[in-house]
Copies of this chain bind each other. A is one copy, B any other.
Amino acid sequence: MKIELISIGTELLTGKQNSDSSFIGDALSRINLELSRETTIPDHKKQMTSLLEESLKRADIIITTGGLGPTFDDLTREIVSETLKKKLIFHDSILKKMRKHFQRRGLVMPEINRKQAYVIEGARIIPNNVGTAPGMIIETNEDKKKKTLILLPGPPGELQPMFLKSVLPYLKKYSKSYLKTISFWIAGLSESSVAEKVEPIIEKYREAEKIEFAILVHLSIVEVKLKIRGKNQKEMNEEISPIKKEIKKVLGNNLFSEKTKKLEEAIGNLLLRKRLRLGLAESCTGGLLGNLITDIPGSSCYFQGSIVAYSNEVKKKVLKVRKTLLRKYGAVSKEVALAMASGARKSTKADIGVSITGIAGPSGASREKPVGLVFIGLIYPGERLKIAKEYHFTGNRQNIKYRAVISALDLLRRNL
């Protein structure tokens, strides 16, 4: 069962926020399916038509995202209709639903949205509860082979719930029960260090050819992924359990989860279990750490808040960092990191205080304090634990911010 993804839109020319394949690939793996390819093309009719024709030859299931919007450059409906030689049918019920969608927000539906009420003949409609464009599932025959086309809108906020609620249950019938994927999520080790630890195990078990391995990096997080094929669940579990054991042994405390790639989620669970509340003081990261932590639903149970002390005035006024400390050691120093962590704990009334202060660049550096220098502080109540660690990160401003945040989470995790 070959599944291809086609992302339509002028994203090729300009900032696309996220690759759709990331979400769709993840979702498909839950039912043991996988994408064989993702292609992104601009919304030019000729290019879209020839890609669709190519894909129809190669794949059994084609998922498209984008091009279902209301404007003149949204062409997916028309191109699929022409390529499959199926009519577009107007649905009054969709139009009514769209008018209601605008009414709820106190708006009148612009007439150009009317176009979105047209659906390919014979298609199953996927309702869109967030935006206006409905999705479609089309079953058809090309050269006597059964092909399925699934058309979805581009915006992730619409695509994602539609995929989970309607597409995944539909595709379940194609699920191969003999494929299983397992991930190990690692923080605090580089890709090559993880590879050195894991490769002897991989070499040993890869011979069987039932198991595939991959090592992936997500900036500061490394993932070791296994895919195993087998006749049934029991056989696969028997095969995988000694490998899992060996991998866990070599990774040790660097492994932070087998369930989530999000370090902030793993830490949330730890804080919740230990009934500890966290408060932050962020300087160079500007709020990124608080933002990541609050991306996790329910984080209000353990997250008190963050003092983003970008200016020294806020460090002094809110975090009570002493003027003499700032003058003597500078804002980017071990001493100030500790004072900030202590201030974070007190001002947010938390149990644990974590601080980040550093130079994200491109400017602000000196000879003694280069771009990428970051100090992370950690303080427990009654100074039971009091750590300040120095880091040197590479990359651009955003990379340095992200690496600092992941390192702060990892330092916290190792001391919880």
Measured CB to CB, the residues of A under 8 A from B are 9-19, 21-22, 25-26, 29, 34-43, 47, 51, 69-73, 105, 110-113, 130-132, 155-157, 160-161, 181, 183, 191-193, 195-196, 199, 202, 213-219, 223, 225, 261, 280, 282, 284-291, 293-295, 297-300, 303-311, 313-314, 317-318, 347-349, 360-364, 392, 394-399, 401
Contacts and interface: CB of A to CB of B under 8 A. Distances in A.
A29 to B, nearest CB: 6
A291 B297 contact: no
Given A287-B289, A305-B307, A311-B348, A13 B29 contact: yes
Given A14-B261, A291-B287, A308-B280, A192 B110 contact: yes
A38, A289, A291, A348: which has the most chain B beta carbons within 10 Å?
A291
A394 B157 contact: yes
Given A36-B41, A112-B199, A306-B310, 7 more contacts: A43-B214, A286-B291, A287-B288, A295-B398, A295-B401, A303-B311, A311-B348
A364 B301 CA distance: 11
Contacts of A361: 297
Given A70-B192, A306-B308, A362-B297, A12 B34 contact: yes
Determine which residue in A43, A294, A295, A299 has the highest number of CB atoms from chain B within 10 A of its CB, and name it: A294
A306 B307 CA distance: 6
Contacts of A40: 19, 21, 37-40
Contacts of A183: 14
Copies of this chain in the oligomer = 2
Contacts of A347: 314, 317-318
Contacts of A261: 14-15
11 contacts: A14-B183, A15-B261, A36-B41, A112-B195, A112-B199, A157-B396, A286-B291, A287-B308, A303-B310, A305-B314, A311-B348
A195 B110 contact: yes
Nearest to A191: B69
A336 to B, nearest CB: 15
A72 to B, nearest CB: 7
A72 B195 CA distance: 9
Contacts of A130: 394-395
A207 B286 CA distance: 48
Given A12-B38, A195-B71, A300-B364, A282 B286 contact: no
A286 B294 contact: yes
Nearest to A202: B72
Contact of A297 (B34, B72, B397): B397
A264 to B, nearest CB: 11
A351 B43 CA distance: 45
Given A286-B295, A291-B285, A305-B310, A14 B43 contact: no
A14 B223 contact: yes
B110 A196 contact: yes
A138 B51 CA distance: 27
A150 to B, nearest CB: 17
A47 B43 contact: no
A392 B299 CA distance: 22
Nearest to A10: B214
A192 B71 contact: yes
Contact of A47 (B36, B313, B360, B396): B36
Contacts of A161: 396
Given A216-B9, A218-B15, A157 B399 contact: yes
Closest 3 CB pairs of A and B: A286-B294, A287-B287, A287-B290
